[in-house]
Chains A and B, each alone.
Chain A
Amino acid sequence: MSLTSDPPLARTPAEPEDYGALKVVPVRHPWRWAAVVVTAVLLAQFAHGLATNAGWEWEVFAEFFTAEVVLKAVWVTLQLTVYGTALGFALGIVLAFMRLSASPFLKAVAFAYIWAFRSIPLIVQLLFWFNLAYLYKELQFGIPFGPGFFSFDTMGLVGAMSAAVLGLALHQAAYAAEIVRGGVLSVDGGQLEAAAALGIPRLRQIRRIVLPQAMRSILPNAANEVISLFKGTSIVSVMAIGELFYQVQVIYGRNGRVVPLLMVATAWYILLTTALSVIQHYVERHFAKGSTR
């Protein structure tokens, strides 16, 4: 039929049809089903392998998963994470507000700090802290460039554990500073202006008006950082600190059961990361008050 031909004259205008009474046939997706089958087969193979391959040595895994020495190591890992996060974010908040301040000097110092600590690999930095006593034999509190009041032997003060916490925290602070700064910048300028116009005291403006709103964009990034720090604590195994990964290495060094012991560490990391994700969900919900998305 040609498109240019006249409409057939014989056809009378049809009654408007009632489409609502017709049966609806949904579009079929055969390839989607094929993909589901392939994926399911691969998953089944993987699960079958986990269950049947004797190399996983699940009985060894079970023996060590809750062994006292492993639980202690998990505790050390958690401590490193908590102290690293708390100190790191405390310093990070200070650095963020230094970068946001009107003083070019404070801005430059904060910028230089962030630049330096983001440039140095964490492992290099940790080894520096570990060897601090080589540079400074003793640390002294007193008047800058003047007489001192107390002094400490550096070796005694900066033990391996505190060197590790210090290293993790200083490293974390550089990243935390940028995350907090990003969050503060995401708050509409009109908010501070309104708070200033109402005469709300400066600290209260930050704590009550800016930070709660900044938290919405800080939290997802901060949670990323905490989780990555949590797993990153495994790097301090280079300093012979008995955290989870170091302890697992010690054990398989003795008994040669590498794979099940790596699975012990893996399972703990997954378990605790899951817990952190759950906490993140609830904290985010708290700060979402008054928002529509």
Chain B
Amino acid sequence: MSAPMVDVRSVHKSFGALEVLKGVDLQVRAGEVTVVLGPSGSGKSTLLRTINHLEKVDQGWISVDGALVGYRRSGDKLYELREREILKQRTRIGFVFQNFNLFPHLTVLENIVEAPVSALKRPRKEATEAARGLLDRVGLADKAGAYPKQLSGGQQQRVAIARALALEPRLLLFDEPTSALDPELVGEVLDVIKDLAHQGTTMIVVTHEIGFAREVADTVVFMDDGRVVEQGSPGDVLDAPRHERTRAFLSKVL
């Protein structure tokens, strides 16, 4: 087996006295879709945020695409990276937030063009062309000049996905991408994510959409109380869970 695209090793993370991650291990291979399920407070969002170093881990380590996240090894020491280097690492990892976090004072097109131009130093003209292509891909070619507030939640999340894709990341992280949406808008966002999955994009999706997990995931990971309780194919974890806690969770959400 080749080296995993994402390698998480015995990661611990506390916020004050509260230990949120209690030794998490996770491997994701290139081109795979991993869906992380679990009750709220189980640490799944925090895990996702440690992978692009929005949260610093207290113990353990994470590597993405062969590079340690947030640190540089030299001899037998790990040196913490400077913010500039961390920002550079993040351009290879796309992140989609639950609340979209689009920049409200910039148009849809400006939202997408901003990072390629300022972080990757792409020429603005080239980045704009690419952005228009991405908008077309998420079905919003006619909204380039609109401001985020003029769009529905589903449209905003699709713009946020296009914005993450504009950096051509090697890995995409989705943090409950449909949880802030009205029920009738969930489908359009999941369709875009499914599309990306079929094109072989490596991604980790934290979600409560069991149907989506069953249909798209290569691996389903169930987390509870800061630990990975079980993982496997959707068939195994969703239909024949081995752990009591997984069964209890699934019986509540299905």
Contact = CB atoms under 8 A, between A and B. Distances in A.
A170 B33 CA distance: 57
B83 interface: yes
Contacts of B105: 212-213, 287, 289-291
B101 A191 contact: yes
Given A199-B115, A201-B84, A292-B149, A190 B99 contact: yes
Given A197-B90, A290-B149, A204 B54 contact: no
Nearest to A288: B105
A188 B87 CA distance: 20
Contact of A201 (B104, B107, B118): B118
Contact of B88 (A190, A197, A199, A289): A199
B149 A198 contact: no
B119 interface: yes
B149 A190 contact: no
Interface of B: 52, 54, 83-84, 87-91, 93, 95, 97, 99, 101-107, 114-115, 118-120, 147-149, 163-164, 167
A106 interface: no
Contacts of A213: 103-105
B97 A193 contact: yes
A90 interface: no
Interface in A222-236: none
B87 A201 contact: yes
Given A197-B90, A291-B149, 6 more contacts: A196-B87, A197-B54, A197-B93, A198-B163, A198-B167, A201-B84
29 contacts: A188-B101, A190-B101, A191-B103, A193-B54, A193-B97, A194-B97, A194-B101, A194-B102, A196-B87, A197-B90, A197-B93, A198-B163, A198-B164, A199-B88, A199-B89, A199-B119, A200-B115, A200-B118, A204-B118, A208-B118, A213-B103, A213-B105, A287-B105, A289-B105, A289-B147, A290-B104, A290-B107, A290-B147, A291-B105
A198 B91 contact: yes
B91 A199 contact: yes
Given A190-B97, A193-B97, A198 B119 contact: yes
Nearest to B52: A197
Main SS of chain A's interface residues?
helix
B114 A208 contact: yes
A184 to B, nearest CB: 14
A209 interface: yes
B22 to A, nearest CB: 24
Most chain-B Cβ atoms within 10 A of its Cβ — which of A204, A213, A290, A291?
Answer: A290
Contacts of A198: 90-91, 95, 114-115, 119, 163-164, 167
